[in-house]
Structure 1
Amino acid sequence: MVMGATGSKLEKALGDQFPEGERYFGLENFGNTCYCNSVLQALYFCVPFREQLLEYYSNNKNVGEAEENLLTCLADLFNQINSSKKKTGVIAPKRFVQRVKKQNELFRSYMHQDAHEFLNFLLNELVDILEKEANAKDSPGTSSQSEKIANGSSHLHVNGVQKEPHITWIHKSFQGLLTNETRCLRCETVTARDETFFDLSVDIEQNSSITSCLKNFSSTETLNAEDKFFCDKCCSLQEAQKRMKIKKPPNVLVIHLKRFKYIEQLGRYKKLSYRVVFPLELKLSNTLENADAEYSLFAVVVHVGSGPNHGHYISLVKSHSHWLLFDDENVDIFDESAVQTFFGSAQEYSSNTDHGYILFYENLGGRS
């Protein structure tokens, strides 16, 4: 599709401020594929992710016999945008969308899909592909490696030696570490278990903020009655206190607001339009073990609509020093002060149905 009026309008609006070498392209919608388009725009403006993907493209573009997969399709799409002669326009991510549908039957229908489920699926799928490639390089000629990965074994054996799972550039961007601490209230023994994450899904409350949601995420919970904890030291079920802390913050912190809640009385999911303030600058202190981390907001995937099974997704993106709104094919400049219109509504019924759903923060100390 050729560049329409929106492209030239955007160029005029930015004028001399159009960032050198940057491209702002809308993405065509193939029938309810806004969940995919909104996430792709957030990832395109996640600079470390984009740079690594473009590097991957340039390293692999001459590999003739390589089979097409989700990673090659995405790298191809990002390269198409990045290397375009035009600064603005519209691109049809057709091959990528076809590949997604081929790979995962969940996304095959024309029904409204969940952008967060798609983001999770995409990052995990890309990690799988990169791990398989790394293991094939480490031990050419053995198919057992990829079979082990396919069967969910993360620790591989190469020549009888156990090998740690490969750390990909996706891990380096998005992976953080949580520690789950459980303290037995009888013997005071603390059992700690670490687990990795690519994003944090947090419960939300009316008239709250991301900071308070994260505080609740890390708050201490008492395990008693039917929920007692089996303490290895006491060799019995005991009352305990449990809490989750961020042990190692990621370079890119993705926060998913749980806006869709199952209401038992209704027997269905309901969208929570709660007002949840997400600041442009976020400090992680009380959720973090022994440290502070400062983050800056660079993208927001917004759910538009009053219910979970229908609606639309758009994304707000910060590029260089200005904000843009990507709505499928359309790209518009956007005032930073208007970001707050996407916090949600303080009233239960409101005509504003555009609510922040997935937030992307960049770690200011983690720029490498």
Structure 2
Amino acid sequence: MGAAGSRLEKALGDQFPEGERYFGLENFGNTCYCNSVLQALYFCVPFREQLLEYYSMNKYPREAEENLLTCLAELFSQISLQKKKTGVIAPKRFVQTLKKRNELFRGYMHQDAHEFLNFLLNDLVDTLEKESHPAKSSPETSSPVRLANGQNNGQANGVKHEPLVTWVHKNFQGILTNETRCLRCETVTARDETFLDLSLDIEQNSSITSCLKNFSSMETLNAEDKFFCDKCCSLQEAQKRMKIKKTPHILVIHLKRFKYMDQLKRHKKLCYRVVFPLELKLCGIVEDADSEYSLFAVVVHVGSGPSHGHYVSLVKSHNHWLYFDDENVEIIDESAVQSFFGSAQEYSSNTDHGYILFYERLSANTYI
């Protein structure tokens, strides 16, 4: 990246952010899915700062067992401490550890960036919980209840435990409420569940706001899908909806661009045009309050199908937008982000589509 790095430094000139580093990541054959997500997470500033703080307090000797948390923290530390402003780093130890932890990522097949992100965040949570276990254990309390995607506060051995909320949760975790109303007795059954990201169905020529409204829309349960009402003690027609009860500090939205088609007997990529605004307002969608978010990263899938292609990422850093393509880093105009919305026509030469969106809540320093 020598020449490219020089061009980037020249393009930013005096505007190059003090103390910031823009480094590409080496690709080990098929690791663009990993590199694109890691760049998005690195420029998630509160997450990066807490990870580096964790690393400074928990530096392990080389002979200690490696895990994804320590490897990620070491990688972020290596980037942040570089003397040069730009360059390339090989995330070799992280990738090696990832392949040890999950056989899904061991081959050379095209991998899914969202599956990787989900696995990584949950693995970080697992490690933090295991590390906190000795400190939290007592005769009255056994292991903490895990809070991750789709998991509820619960009980173990008949004793209710306070869930462990890690700094990963504090950044990414929100709460959904699943409400079901019996149409016979009007009783409402509500169940809370946590999430680290939201996966949204998409439609042609739509927007993130409309996708979120569809996510929270009312669904009628009837015929074979009737709901068993505890009050009526029988199956009844009901109305069901999912609401966002509490928004996370970092809202991660996964657009479901890969859909299984029965007639094709395989997954197909939906190249639909889905507008994702730079500023997102969740008016009327969130239960607790209207929340405003600012887009700071996009993981982009490049290619016409789910089993092949490439991943890149767009990142906003200090009011500049950057394009990360493995080892290469370029500055781009903010207006260029719109070119990744998708295709308005079914058949288009444009195959670069926003896949995972990272939004940070504005004017909110409080965590869940």
Give the TM-score normalised by the residue count of structure 2. 0.94
1:23-74 deviation per Cα after TM superposition (whole angstroms, max 9, x unaligned): 0000000011000000000000001110010001100115676421110000
| Matching residue of 2:100 | 102
1-side partners of 2:285 and 2:199: how far apart? 14
| Matching residue of 2:319 | 321
Q: Letter of the aligned partner of 1:192 in structure 2?
A: A
Runs of 4+ aligned structure 1 residues displaced above 3 Å come to: 62-66, 152-158, 160-163
SS in 1 for 2:130: helix
Query: Considering only aligned residues, what root-mean-square deviation do their CA atoms show, in Å?
Result: 2.1
Q: Post-superposition shift, 1:290?
A: 4.2
Name which of 184, 192, 195 aligns with 1:194. 192
- Name whichever of 57-66 and 356-365 sits farther off: 57-66
Q: Post-superposition shift, 1:365?
A: 3.1
Q: Letter of the aligned partner of 1:105 in structure 2?
A: E
Q: Mapping of 1:155-304 within 5 angstroms?
A: 162-304=160-302
| Matching residue of 1:14 | 12
SS in 1 for 2:354: strand
Contact 1:81 1:91 in 2 (8 A): yes
Q: Post-superposition shift, 1:6?
A: 1.1
Q: Mapping of 1:118-157 within 5 angstroms?
A: 118-139=116-137, 145=143
Q: Mapping of 1:78-93 within 5 angstroms?
A: 78-93=76-91
Q: Structure 1 residues 134 and 348, CA, compared in 2 at 3 Å: closer, same or farther?
A: same
1-side partners of 2:70 and 2:64: how far apart? 9
Contact 1:156 1:164 in 2 (8 A): no
2-side partners of 1:286 and 1:244: how far apart? 13
Q: Post-superposition shift, 1:156?
A: 8.0
Q: Is there any run of 5+ residues in structure 1 with no aligned partner, and where?
A: none
Q: Is there any run of 5+ residues in structure 2 with no aligned partner, and where?
A: none
Q: Structure 1 residues 201 and 153, CA, compared in 2 at 3 Å: closer, same or farther?
A: closer
SS in 2 for 1:95: helix
Q: Letter of the aligned partner of 1:208 in structure 2?
A: S
Q: Post-superposition shift, 1:286?
A: 2.1
Contact 1:200 1:254 in 2 (8 A): yes
Q: Letter of the aligned partner of 2:286 in structure 1?
A: L
Q: Letter of the aligned partner of 1:104 in structure 2?
A: N
- Name whichever of 36-45 and 284-293 sits farther off: 284-293
Q: Post-superposition shift, 1:219?
A: 0.2
| Matching residue of 2:363 | 365
SS in 1 for 2:84: coil
Q: Post-superposition shift, 1:165?
A: 2.5
Contact 1:11 1:18 in 2 (8 A): yes
Q: Post-superposition shift, 1:162?
A: 4.7
Q: Structure 1 residues 63 and 154, CA, compared in 2 at 3 Å: closer, same or farther?
A: farther
Name which of 328, 349, 366 aligns with 1:351. 349
1:244-272 deviation per Cα after TM superposition (whole angstroms, max 9, x unaligned): 11000000000000000000000000000
1-side partners of 2:68 and 2:274: how far apart? 34
Name which of 51, 58, 61 aligns with 2:59. 61
